[in-house]
Amino acid sequence: MTTRRELLIVLSAGALAAPLASLAQQQQKVYRVGILAPGTPASRGHLLEAFTQGLRELGYVEGKNILIERRFAEGSLDRLPALAAD
């Protein structure tokens, strides 16, 4: 049977180790960017590629530390408010 002192040591060690374990397992923050365009993906492809390349140069990798959500109105400007709400 464990003594009171042993129990206190075990509980203290666990309490001290818990913050260290949580610091070691912190995940990198993932940022979310939304792109809203009036045209089509084909008409904006070169701009989107330049944008993602610029993000890569700054250290942002899509799917790793940044998510990019793209919405296109396909030429119908009336769709923009609904796409922005999405």
C-beta atoms surrounding 72 within 10 Å:
20
pTM of the model: 0.60
**7-64 confidence digits (pLDDT tens):** 556 555 555 555 555 555 567 889 999 988 889 989 888 888 999 999 999 999 998 9
Residue pair 82/48 in contact by the 8 Å Cβ criterion: no
